[in-house]
A and B are shown apart, each in its own frame.
Chain A
Amino acid sequence: QKEVEQDPGPLSVPEGAIVSLNCTYSNSAFQYFMWYRQYSRKGPELLMYTYSSGNKEDGRFTAQVDKSSKYISLFIRDSQPSDSATYLCAMSAEGNNRLAFGKGNQVVVIP
């Protein structure tokens, strides 16, 4: 079983729709949970960062962590064509600087 599972299937949505992405993980030591956005031929950029369980909102983006289910989610409201990118979940344990990444979801927002 991989440490982090993220269904890499591409996702196409119309502009204005809600995008819902998720990851599951197996390592109960993970405490830090991140979502990165990666545009084509670019490096990942940090989008959201959450410590332990709970919700975090930043503008149109909401990150949720459910440690009891080992499940994290990212929601993008009122999606825009500029949101078209690959979204990667990443996580890490306390005191450990290495990140474990999911495979990424390619999202296409159609105008």
Chain B
Amino acid sequence: NAGVMQNPRHLVRRRGQEARLRCSPVKGHSHVYWYRQLPEEGLKFMVYLQKENIIDESGMPKERFSAEFPKEGPSILRIQQVVRGDSAAYFCASSPQGGYGYTFGSGTRLTVV
């Protein structure tokens, strides 16, 4: 029973490029969360999604960032026109229903050069 799978594990992008981060939740989990961990900072909530719906995106920057969790396939966090300040570890978590027993993935480490 695989846990939360995130890919790629490491992603390098030049300034101005697009970054796509993928998250496959635990099988049977329909709730997905994205968090960002900046150097020397704690995890910061970004967005909470259920299948085909964004439930809470209050932590998402207003521009350049978007997230989706389609009916089929993984959840995608998309960052357009990346800047150096986007360099961070991005973690996805899932749960079977809304609640606090999250399972986190190992993260995608984005480096913008």
Contacts and interface: CB of A to CB of B under 8 A. Distances in A.
Interface residues of B, number: 27
B42 A92 contact: no
B100 A102 contact: no
Given A43-B107, A100-B45, A101-B42, 5 more contacts: A43-B93, A43-B106, A88-B42, A101-B43, A103-B40
Contact of A97 (B40, B55, B91, B106): B55
A17 interface: no
Contacts of A32: 100
Given A98-B48, A103-B40, A92 B100 contact: yes
B31 interface: yes
A99 B36 CA distance: 12
Interface string B77-113: 0000000000000010100001111111111000000
Contacts of A34: 100
B56 interface: yes
- Which 10 A-B pairs give the minimum distances between C-beta atoms? A43-B104, A101-B42, A101-B43, A98-B45, A103-B42, A43-B106, A44-B104, A97-B98, A32-B100, A43-B105
A36 B100 CA distance: 12
Contacts of B98: 97
Q: Which of A34, A42, A44, A88 has the most CB of B within 10 A?
A: A44
Contacts of A6: 42
Interface in B55-69: 55-56, 58-59
Nearest to A103: B42
A18 interface: no
A41 B37 CA distance: 12
Nearest to A99: B45
B95 to A, nearest CB: 8
16 contacts: A8-B40, A42-B106, A43-B106, A44-B91, A44-B104, A46-B101, A97-B31, A97-B98, A98-B56, A99-B100, A99-B102, A101-B35, A101-B43, A102-B42, A103-B41, A103-B42
